[in-house]
Structure 1
Amino acid sequence: MKKNLKLHQWLMKWHFISGVIILPFVLILSVTGFIYLFKNTYESPQISDYRNLDVKNERLTFQEQWEIAGRNSSVKPHSVILSGKTDEATEFISGKFANVSHLFVNPYNGAITGEFIENESPMGEVRNMHGSLFLGVWGGRIIELVGCWLFVMLLTGIYIWWPVKKWSVFGFFIPRIKRGRRTFFRDIHAISGFWISILLVMILAGGLPWTEVFGNNFKKLQKITNTGYPATWDGQGLQSWPTKNAMSLDEMILVAKKYPLLGTVSLRFPKGKDGIFSVSNTYYKNLNAQKVIHFDQYSGRVLALHKWSDVGFLMRGRMWLMAFHQGQLGAWNFLLIACTASLLFIMSLAAIISYLLRKPKGKLQVPNVPSNFHPGKYIFLSIVILGLILPLFGLSVLLIALLSRLPLRKKQAKNS
């Protein structure tokens, strides 16, 4: 591929400007993302203290435990985890998303062994920093904008990294050590960016569905194309047919156990007299093994059974990428994300060091672009397409374009 040198300079300018703005945030994201990978490792000992217990006496019924959990939880539990182990406390779940709470009930004496609230844990704080900088909705928008520009920086970085004349192992695949510190750190930045570029794109694709603007637009696309969850996946539109007596929780659990499921299995409680019981499992190692089954709360009759293959392809891809983003698909995934987060930190830090080593004192030194250069229709079209896919990026480009016109207008007004 023959490079356009003027385009190279133009992309270098915008790669530099966007880097100055977002690299501090990228450093935060890489550090907090790396730390959050160890969430289960960090939280497991505390949860184990709540969960593990000595087996004594006869067990209370699940119905009795459910009632105890309801009396001792600030938010009424909506689910119970079906573990099948006799030496563990029964785990009841309330809340959703970041506000999930886990309440543990000793099945032998009814005592509350502990409550774990995810949003109040240290890892919950790390997640909030990673997703919103502790700034709520506006912080989330900042992180989304950073993610959009990081994606653009990857594209422009690959073009800038591509050799002008000929390939060389040193400088393109191995850092040059004998060319001085500035060149060394420049090579560290460019080469590490090249090696992790594809992984970073996948990680960004797994993170953007959590964002407000892109995430909501993606949900709308799934709805329009009918590529999300089936309409009754979460039980919407299904209802029980009331008879004299509803099944007890113990009776429902016996019915649920006839459907062996892999991973973490939960039983969701019915809401009201027309509500339904729902059994589902989470198994990241093999998403295809996930199912959700809805039952009539009076007869135990199956109202709907959905397999993962019933889910639309956009939702399946989205959930896989989101699990990949968090390193949940297995040890290989965990190691890939950990290494990528580490290299992203090194890459960003190397860019800052390289810039500081070459920057004249007191000057910003933005790369120059020939005054007669115009990007062309294909570059313009690419920016428009990216702006439509990543709306916050598109809005920021429009804002930059408007601001860049202000000095010119002021100059023209002064000359007239």
Structure 2
Amino acid sequence: MTLLDLIYDNTMKNTQPNSNQHYFTIWRWHFYAGILIAPLLMLLAATGLAMLLLAKTIGKENQYINVIPQAQTQPVSQQAQAALDAVDKEHGAVIQYISPQSPDTVAVFRVNDGDGKATMVAVNPYTAQVVQTFERNQNLYHLMDELHGDLLMGKFGDYLLETTASLTVLMILTGWYLWWCARQRHISQMFSTGKLGAGRSGWRGVHGALGTYISLILLLFCLSGMAWAGIWGGKMVQAWSQFPAGKWGVAPNPESTLLHGDLNDGKTKEIPWILELTPMPISGSTLGENGINPNEPMTFDTVDRFAREQGFATNGRYQIYFPKGEKGVWTINQDSMSYDSPNPTADRTMHIDRYSGKILADINFKDYNWFGKFMVVSIAFHMGTMGWWSIALNVVFCLAVILMGVSGYVMWWKRRPRASGLCPPAQGREVANWRAAAIILCVVALIFPTAAMAILFVYLLDKLLISRTKFFTKLLK
């Protein structure tokens, strides 16, 4: 008997369908999916919780280094020069400026040395003195971020976590059905644990009620997380919903090869999701709208002052990207997923011609399509950047996911007899061929390609190895 035969428990046999048999079928699916993905879900919850807390303590770029506020700040060009001198005065280049998070914190500069290695430099904005230098993306926050994003395994880890999120959708659907049946098919009763008994029944009540409360948030987090993943996000959803480059009448020049995503410069996500695949405009044309006064010199100080005049400082901090190459543009960005602002609807990206000072594009939340708006808000909610209430909610959610995984394993262990093996639910029972549920399974798998690939991989592995080996056959009983 193959693994799929065990999961479906002889669903192709001619038996009379009934609700109990349907329940056992769904229970089998839920059990096997949970055994496989619960450890990864708990890891995602643990690393997400760590990122949430680290972002508000040390900061994503160590930006919470405190300074003593004074009456006057030094010109940002002077601050940038101090940062450059601290890294590579002769061959280095300032790439990015991150304004202070608050009046009593440092400004942060990203400086590339002559070999292109990025260093982050914290500068006291009141004295223009360097406070600290550190390698980019090397603090504890970024370690948790990489574990959360790809398990430190590159593309394979990214695909593995995307598969986990895809199968979690199935977990949610099957979990809803199981708990609905357990609560006498009354939706209102699904939000209650009922009378908690001892042993497995008590764990079951906690598991079912918790799952009901957090399922919608978990579903939202899976969708927003997968939209950043390599296949479902990068190849399907993101490619379809990217922002139209010529919306502002400033279509990219064929000479331009840069995308907005290139400003991220690696795994760090600082540019809005919907803009990542959109080509950048270029400097040196007659296009654009009124921007910086043409009688003023186009300097870093001028661009920074213009950013403040345009209101970027009113909603939080902002970031300025220096032009890349002769045709590069000044980019001013404020993005809630970079912890710039607690309001995702205030996100804004502006491009300025480095020669004329004209505004080539001014992209706001209202300009995004519906899925771009969904991503902006859901990512901010996902990361807990919408204020202390979202941080508290995310802490509770992460702990609940971990408890859900633990309670699932405890229930299995308490139900499991002393004999070896996985001991799947309803072992030895015959269940119905429930075509409606099978169709739902196929639809979910087709929507999320990595889920389909996982099912196909397990099927082939089962056919070629597991079902032909006595050890595996015994283990699955």
Structure 1 position 258 matched with structure 2 position 273: no
Aligned residue in 2 for 1:280: 333
**Residue 280 of structure 2, aligned match among 213, 231, 236:** 236
Q: Which amino acid is 2:443 matched to?
A: I
8 Å CA contact retained: 1:94, 1:102 = yes
* Superimposed CA distance per residue, residues 2-34 of structure 1 (whole angstroms, 9 cap, x where no aligned partner): 973222211111211111112222222222222
* Superimposed CA distance per residue, residues 71-93 of structure 1 (whole angstroms, 9 cap, x where no aligned partner): 43477332223459886544213
1:55 deviation in Å?
4.5
SS of 1:279 mapped into structure 2: strand
**Residue 79 of structure 1, aligned match among 96, 114, 118:** 96
Work out the percentage of aligned pairs sharing the same amino acid.
21
* Superimposed CA distance per residue, residues 272-317 of structure 1 (whole angstroms, 9 cap, x where no aligned partner): 3332222222344322222222222233222222222112221221
Aligned residue in 2 for 1:414: none
SS of 1:285 mapped into structure 2: coil
* Superimposed CA distance per residue, residues 32-73 of structure 1 (whole angstroms, 9 cap, x where no aligned partner): 2222211223205994674514659x9654334323323434
8 Å CA contact retained: 2:284, 2:354 = yes
Structure 1 position 144 matched with structure 2 position 162: yes
Structure 1 position 380 matched with structure 2 position 470: no
Instruction: Identify the range of structure 1 (246-255 vs 46-55) with the bigger mean alpha-carbon deviation.
Output: 46-55
* Superimposed CA distance per residue, residues 142-186 of structure 1 (whole angstroms, 9 cap, x where no aligned partner): 2222211122111111111112683688887124333x3111112
1-structure distance, mates of 2:437, 2:245: 31
Q: Which amino acid is 2:81 matched to?
A: E
Distance 1:405 1:70, change over 3 A: same
Structure 1 position 32 matched with structure 2 position 40: no
Aligned residue in 1 for 2:82: 68
1-structure distance, mates of 2:51, 2:101: 29
8 Å CA contact retained: 1:26, 1:146 = yes
Aligned residue in 2 for 1:163: 181
1:407 deviation in Å?
8.4
1:199 deviation in Å?
1.2
1:403 deviation in Å?
4.3
Aligned residue in 2 for 1:193: 211
Instruction: Identify the range of structure 1 (156-165 vs 366-375) with the bigger mean alpha-carbon deviation.
Output: 366-375
SS of 1:113 mapped into structure 2: strand
SS of 1:239 mapped into structure 2: coil
SS of 1:93 mapped into structure 2: strand
Q: Which amino acid is 1:236 matched to?
A: M
TM-score (norm 2): 0.73
Aligned residue in 2 for 1:392: 450
Structure 1 segments (4+ residues) deviating >6 Å: 84-87, 168-172, 227-235, 242-245, 407-411
Structure 1 position 343 matched with structure 2 position 400: yes
8 Å CA contact retained: 2:344, 2:380 = no
Structure 1 position 296 matched with structure 2 position 342: no
8 Å CA contact retained: 1:50, 1:115 = no
SS of 1:304 mapped into structure 2: strand
Aligned residue in 1 for 2:33: 18
8 Å CA contact retained: 1:280, 1:293 = yes
1:203 deviation in Å?
1.5
8 Å CA contact retained: 1:103, 1:115 = yes
Q: Give RMSD over aligned pairs.
A: 3.7
Distance 1:50 1:115, change over 3 A: farther
8 Å CA contact retained: 1:246, 1:297 = no
Instruction: Identify the range of structure 1 (59-68 vs 16-25) with the bigger mean alpha-carbon deviation.
Output: 59-68
Q: Which amino acid is 1:7 matched to?
A: H
2-structure distance, mates of 1:400, 1:290: 43
TM-score (norm 1): 0.83
SS of 2:41 mapped into structure 1: helix
2-structure distance, mates of 1:290, 1:165: 44
Q: Which amino acid is 2:432 matched to?
A: F
**Residue 184 of structure 1, aligned match among 166, 181, 202:** 202
**Residue 366 of structure 2, aligned match among 302, 305, 309:** 309
Structure 2 gaps of 5+ residues are 1-16, 253-274, 287-293, 470-477
2-structure distance, mates of 1:60, 1:326: 33
1:369 deviation in Å?
7.0
1-structure distance, mates of 2:191, 2:323: 60
Structure 1 position 222 matched with structure 2 position 241: yes
Aligned residue in 2 for 1:327: 384
2-structure distance, mates of 1:45, 1:270: 23
1:382 deviation in Å?
2.1
SS of 2:342 mapped into structure 1: helix
1:200 deviation in Å?
0.9
8 Å CA contact retained: 2:57, 2:64 = no
Structure 1 position 6 matched with structure 2 position 21: yes
Structure 1 gaps of 5+ residues are 412-416
Distance 1:278 1:235, change over 3 A: farther
2-structure distance, mates of 1:126, 1:84: 22
Aligned residue in 1 for 2:13: none
8 Å CA contact retained: 1:240, 1:298 = yes
